[in-house]
Chains A and B, each alone.
Chain A
Amino acid sequence: MTTVSTAPPPARTHHRARQGRRRMPVLGALPFLAPALALYGIFLLFPIVSAVYLSFMRWNGFPTVPPVWAGLDNYRDILTNDTVFHTALRNSVIWVVLSLIVPTVLALLLALALNRRLLGRNLLRSAFYIPAVLASIAVATMWTWLYNPNSGLVNGTLNALGLSSWIQDWLGEPRIALYSVFVAFVWQTTGFSMVLFLAGLQTVPADLVEAAKLDGASAWQSFRNVTLPALRPTFTVVLVLTVISSLKVFDLIVGMTNGGPAQSSQVLALWSYSQSFINHNFGGGNALAVVLLLITLALVLPYLMWTLKEDER
C-alpha cells in the first residue's frame, strides 16, 4: 500500500497517454489495484502488523484486559520456558525436509511415467490427482479411520497379509504419530506436484530428446542432459510451494492427533494457534507466529527475488 501512495504523482496524468509505458501514471493503475490492495491491507497486512505488535505484549486475549508491554519476554520464553517449542520446531523441520523429498520424488516419477503414451493414461493421472482436491480435514478424518487400531484398513490389511507383528498404534504411539500423519500428507499432496511436473514436461523440447536419441544417448543420459535442465523452473515452483504448504500444515494434524500424544506431533503453526486460542497466551502465540513467518521468509524470499530478476531480463 505504502509503495503506491508514497510514489510522487507524475506531473501530467493522462489516462490514454500514448507517450509509452515508461511514463504510465500510477493513477491509471490505481482503480485496478484498489480492490485487491484494500482487501490485502485489511485482512492480511493489518493482521500481520498487529500480530507482530502483540508478540511484544503480554495479553490473555480478553478485550477487558489491556495488553501489557513485555519487550522481548515472549521470545525469551519461547527459547527457555516453552516445553513444546523444541519439539514443534524439530517436527516442522522434519516435515519440511521430508516433504521436499518424498512427495516430490514420487511425483516426478509418476509424471515421467504418465507422460508416456499409455493405455488409460488420463484415468491413471486422475487416480493420483483426486486426493489433492479433498479438504485436509476430510483427509484427516479418512486417515484417522484407516489407522483405527480396532477396525481400520491399515492394521486390517497387515493382519490379512500375515504381518500382524507390524501392527502399530499408528496415531497413539508418540514415536511414530508424526510419520503416520505424514503418510496421509504424501497421499494428499503428491498428485498436485505430479500435475505441475506433467505441465513442466510439456516444455521439454521434443526435438532435443529426439536428437539425443539419434546421437545414441541412453535414456538416463537424455533425461539428465535434456529433460532435467528443462524442468528446472518446474522444480523451483514445486519446491517453493512445498516449503510454504509444509510449514503451514495445520488441518491434517488437528484432525488426526491434535499435536498429541504428549505433544509429540506438534508443529509450529498448530502450537502458535494453541498458545493463543487454547492457552490464552496471545503474546506467546503471536511470537511463535512471527518466528514461523521469519523462517518461511528466509526460505522463500530468495526465490521471489530471483524470479523477478529473471523476469526483468
Chain B
Amino acid sequence: MNAVRRANFPLIGLWIALVVTALIWLAPFAFMVLTSLKSTAEIGRGSIWSLPEVWRWDNYLNAAERGDLWGVAANSAYIALIKVPLGLLVSAAAAFAIARLRFKRHRALLIVIALGAMVPVQVALAPMFTTLSSMGLLNSVNGIILPYLAFGIPYQVFFLYGFFRSLPRELDEAARIDGSGNWRLFLSVCLPLAKPALAALFILDFVATWNEYGMALVLLQDQEVRTVPLALQAFQSQFASNYGQLNAFIIMSILPVLIVYLMFQRFFTQGALAGAVKG
C-alpha cells in the first residue's frame, strides 16, 4: 500500500469512487435481504430501507417449503455434478484431438463446432423435444443432461483448443519417444497441464448449468424433476405478491452458486482466464 502511504490523492479519490460504485452495485442484495425478513403488510407501508419491525425468519422456512427448495436443489445439483465433469472430459478429448492430432480439415471441424455457440437454444427446442420424447427421456434429469452436454461443447472445445495449442510441441515428441500412445499423451500429459483451464471452465460451467432456464422450461415439465430456475419462476408467478417469501426464495436459490464462486474466486479475480483472451 505504498501508494496510499504517500498520500496519492488521485488514487484515494479513485478508491472512494470505486467503493461507492461497489456499494451501489451491491445495494440490490441488501434491499432483498431486508425485504426477505419483513411481513407483506410491513413491506406495504414501511420505508424501504427501514429494518424489519419483526424479523420474519420464518419467511425462509415457509418459502423453502412452498417452493420445494430441497427437492429442486437436489435435482439441480444432480444434473450439474454429472453434467459438468462429464462435459469437460468430452470437450477436452475433442479439443485435444483437434489441437494435437492434426488430422485433415481439423480447422473446418473446429469452425463447425464453434459455430454451435451461436445457436440460440430456442431454435433447437422443438426438435430436441421430439428426440428426447422418442427416447423416453422427457421429464427426466438424466435426459436433459444430453442436450446440456451438447450445448456446452462449442465454448469448451474452442477454449480448450486454444489451451492445448499453446502447449509446446516438444511435449508430444518426448512422450512419443517414450512410446506413449494418444491416450497416454492425453491423460497423463495434456490433461494434468490443463488443470487451471479446466478449473476455470468447471466453475463457469457449473454456474451456467445450475442457472439454465430455456431448455429446462420445455424439457422438464413434471413437478418432480424441476430445477432451481424453474422453481423460482413458478414461485414468482404464484406468489408474486408475497414479497418477503419471494425474496427469501431468490436468496436461497442463488446461495449455491455464490458459495461455489467464493470457493474458487481466485481463478477469476486473479486472471486464470488469461488463456481465453490471448486470441
Contacts and interface: CB of A to CB of B under 8 A. Distances in A.
| Contact present between A and B (CB < 8 A) | yes
Interface of A: 3-4, 7, 15-16, 18, 21-22, 24-26, 28-29, 31-33, 35-37, 39-40, 42-48, 50-51, 54, 61, 110, 113-114, 116-119, 122, 124-131, 133-138, 141-146, 148, 150-153, 156-157, 160, 187, 195-196, 198-203, 232-234, 236-238, 244, 247-248, 250-251, 255, 269-270, 272-273, 276-277, 282, 285-286, 289-290, 292-293, 296-297, 300-301, 304-305, 307-308, 310-312
Contact of A134 (B48, B118, B128, B257): B257
Interface of B: 1-4, 11, 14-15, 18-19, 21-22, 25-29, 31-32, 35, 43-44, 47-49, 90-91, 93-94, 96-98, 100-128, 131, 146-147, 149-151, 153-154, 157, 165, 172, 176, 179, 181-182, 186, 207, 210-214, 218, 228-229, 232-233, 236, 243, 246-247, 250, 253-254, 257-258, 260-262, 265, 268-274, 276-279
A124 B16 CA distance: 11
A311 B166 CA distance: 10
Dominant SS among interface residues on chain B: helix
Contacts of A248: 120-121
A116 B11 contact: yes
A54 B126 contact: yes
Given A21-B101, A296-B120, 17 more contacts: A26-B103, A28-B182, A44-B153, A46-B127, A110-B18, A118-B11, A118-B14, A131-B25, A135-B228, A141-B250, A146-B31, A151-B43, A196-B276, A248-B121, A250-B122, A251-B214, A301-B115
A311 to B, nearest CB: 7
Contact of A7 (B97, B105, B107): B105
A interface: dominant SS: helix
A289 B182 contact: no
Contact of A304 (B1, B114, B128): B114
Nearest to A127: B22
19 contacts: A15-B182, A36-B91, A36-B153, A39-B149, A43-B146, A43-B150, A44-B154, A117-B1, A118-B18, A129-B265, A130-B26, A133-B254, A133-B257, A137-B232, A148-B243, A232-B279, A250-B121, A292-B120, A293-B123
